[in-house]
Amino acid sequence: MKKILNDPAAYVDEMLEGMIAAHPEIYRMAGQRVIARAGAATRGKVGIVSGGGSGHLPVFTGYVGKGLLDACAIGDVFASPSAEEMADSMRAANGGAGVLRLYGNYGGDVMNFDMAGETVAFENDIESTTVLLADDVASAGPEEAGKRRGTGGMIFAFKTAGASAERMDDLETVTRIAQRTADNCRSLGMALTPCTVPQAGTPTFQINENEMEMGMGIHGEPGIWRDQLRSADAITDEMMDRLFDDIKLADGDACSILVNSLGATPQEELYIIYRRAATRLQDAGARIVMPLVGRYATSMEMTGATITLCKLDEELETLLKEPCHCAFWTVM
Amino acid sequence: MSFRVDDLVAAAERIAKAAREAKDELNAQDGRLGDGDLGITLDKGWAEATALEVDDPDLGRYFLALSKAFQRVSSSSFGTLLATGLMAAAKGTKGRNAVEYHEVTDLIAAARDAMMARGKGELGQKSVLDILDALAIATRDLNDPGDIAEAARQAVEVSLETFRNQPAGLGRARMYGEASIGLDDPGMLATRHMVNGLISDNSAP
C-alpha cells in the first residue's frame, strides 16, 4: 500500500480535521464524525442530512453547505456510520421543520439511518423522511430498480432538494423534490484499476493491465463484463446506450449530465468522454442543462468514470440552477 | 410480580458477563457464516450498556439508553437489530417504573416485530427472529420469573434444534446456501448466550 497517511486507523478523523481547518466558514464538527454547516441550523428550514462510508469525497461530507446538505454522518472508509452518529447529524440539522435523510441505497446505511430516525423521533420529537438514491443501472435490472445502489445521482438530489429547503419549502415538498430527482437519475460506471482501503491495505479487486470492467460499483462491486480496454468513444457509446435503455428521453427534454472521475482518472479524459456523451444526448434530441464534469463522487484512487443522466422538468431545472456553495462545488 | 430498573441493571450485568465469556467462541462461529465479529459486537455493546450511569426509575428511558449504547458502539447489522429490539421495549415501557412479568411476552413480541421490519426479514429464515418468536410464544401467560426463565431456556434450545438442518435464508449467512445446513445461525447463538446470561440466577429478567 502506497498512501500518504500517518496511521490507517486515524485516516478518517485526520481527514475531517483537515477539512474543517481548511474551510471553517463552511464546515463544523457537530459530534464524533458528524459534519454540519458552520453556524446553527436555520429556524424553520427543513434540514437535509446524508451519510455513508468515507472514501468518496466530495460525497458525502463535502456537500454540506448552503443550498445543499445541512449535516452528514461519516463512517470508516467504505463502512456505514453508526446509528448514533446518524442521529447526531439529524439533531444538528434540525431547525424545527423536520429532516430529510437523503443517501444511497446500501443495506447497512439504510438500517442504521432508519434506527437513527426512530431514535430522534422518540427522544427529540424530530419528524423525518427518507429518500434513497438507487440510480446505478448495473446493480439490478429495471424490474428490481428498488434494489439498485446509489451513486452519482445523489449529487443532483442534494442540489435540487437543497435548493428547495433553502427557499423554505416544507418537509413534504422537499421530500417530493428529492424523490422526483432520484426517480429521474440513472448512472453507470466503469473502472480500470482498483483502490485500496487504508485499514485493509490490499486492493479491493484484481484486474489485468490491459483490462477494463463495465458496470463496476463504487466500492468495487462486480460489474457487467470485463474485457480488453476499448476506446473512449466505444466505452461512452455503450454507457449511453445502457442509460438510454433505462430512461426515455423525448425530443426537447431537458437533461443534465455528470461525467465523474472515480478518483484517479484525470479531467482531460473526462472531457474526452463528455465530448462523445454530449453528442449522443444531442442526437437523442435532449437539451443539455448545466453539465458537470469532474470529481463529484469518487472511490479513493480508483481509475474509472461514471456517467449520470438526470432528466429535468421545469421545477427541477429551476432548482438545479439555484445558487449553492460548499468547498467542492459552487453555483452562482 | 413486577420488575424495575434495578432488576434490569442487574440483568444487564449478567448478560454482559455471558457476552464477555462467549466472545471468542462467538467470533469463531460467526466466522463460518459471517464476517467473524459478532462476539466483538455483543461484548462491546453490553460493556457499553453496563457502563451507563442509571439514576432514573423510568423503564422506557433505561431501555432507550440500552438501545443507544448499541447504536453508539456498533454499526454492524446485528448491533442495530438489537438496538431496534431494545427501542421497541423502550416504547412499550415509556413512563413506567414497574412492569409485570406477564408482560414480558408482549415486550419480546414487540421487539421481534420491530426487528423483522428493520431487517426486512421473515420468520422461518433461521435467524434471531425465529428464536424471539419461540421466546414470545413460550413465555405467554407466565407471571413467575422462575417459570419464565425455564420456558425461555427450553425455547432457545428447541429453536436452535429446529433450524439447525435448514439452510440460512437471511443476511450474510444466506450467501452460504446449502453450506449453512448443519451450522447454527450465529445470531441465534448470540441470543442463546444472552438468554442464558439473563436467566443465570434462575429468574427473569
CB contact under 8 A, A83 and B71: yes
**Domain co-membership, A152 together with A179:** yes
Query: In chain A, which residues have their Cβ closer than 8 Å to the Cβ of B77?
Result: 107-108, 111
Enclosing H/E stretch for B31:
helix B5-33
A228 with A306, same domain: the answer is yes
Give the pLDDT score at B203.
59
Structural domains in chain B (count):
1
Residues of chain B with pLDDT > 90: what percent? Answer: 82
Cα–Cα distances in angstroms (integers) from residue B52 to residues B47, B99, B187, in the given order: 9, 21, 25
Model pLDDT, residue B202:
59
Mean pLDDT of the B113-129 span: 95
A111 at interface of B, judged by CB pairs closer than 8 A: yes
Position B77 confidence tier, pLDDT thresholds 50, 70, 90: confident
Note the pLDDT of residue B37: 84
What residues of chain A, 51 to 110, have a C-beta less than 8 Å from chain B? Answer: 75, 79-84, 87, 107-108
How far apart, in whole angstroms, are the C-alpha atoms of residue B153 and residue A41?
Answer: 50
**Residues of A marked as catalytic:** 56, 219
pLDDT at B177: 79
* A243 shares its domain with A304: yes
Using a CB-CB distance cutoff of 8 angstroms, which residues of chain A are in contact with residue B82?
none
C-alpha cell at A195: 483502490
pLDDT number for residue A35: 98
Residue B130 lies in a domain: yes
- Three-state DSSP class for A232? helix
Task: Tell me the β-bridge partners of A104.
Answer: A133
User: CATH no. for residue A224?
Assistant: 3.30.1180.20
Domain that holds residue B41: 2-198
Residue A137: give the domain boundaries.
8-184+322-331
Q: How far is A226 from chain B (nearest CA, A)?
A: 23
With 60 as the cut, is the pLDDT of residue B204 above it?
Answer: no
**Model pLDDT for residues A226-272, shown as the tens digit of each residue:** 999 999 999 999 999 999 999 999 999 999 999 999 999 999 999 99
CATH number of the domain encompassing residue A152: 3.40.50.10440
Kindly state whether residue A172 falls inside one of the protein's structural domains.
Answer: yes
Residue A77, in any domain of the structure? yes
- Report residue B75's pLDDT band, with 50, 70 and 90 as the boundaries: confident
Helix spans in chain A (H) = 11-22, 83-93, 107-124, 153-166, 171-183, 232-246, 267-283, 314-321
For A177-229, write each residue's pLDDT tens digit.
999 999 999 999 999 999 999 988 889 889 999 999 999 988 888 899 999 99
- In a domain, residue B203? The reply is no
pLDDT tens digits for range B165-189: 999 888 777 777 788 899 999 999 9
Work out how many domains chain A is built from and give that number. Answer: 2
Domain assignment present for residue A1? The answer is: no
Q: Say if B11 falls within a structural domain.
A: yes
Question: Do residues A231 and A242 share a domain?
Answer: yes
**Pairwise CA distance, residues A57 & A35, whole Å:** 13
Least confident interval from A134-143, B96-105, B178-187:
B178-187
pLDDT of the residue at B104: 97
- Strand B2-3 vs strand A47-54: parallel, antiparallel, or unpaired? unpaired
**Is residue A236, in this structure, part of any structural domain at all?**
yes
Statement to judge: residues A18 and A145 lie in one domain: yes
For A98-119, what is the mean pLDDT?
95
pLDDT at B205 over 70: no
Same domain, yes or no: A131 and A204? no
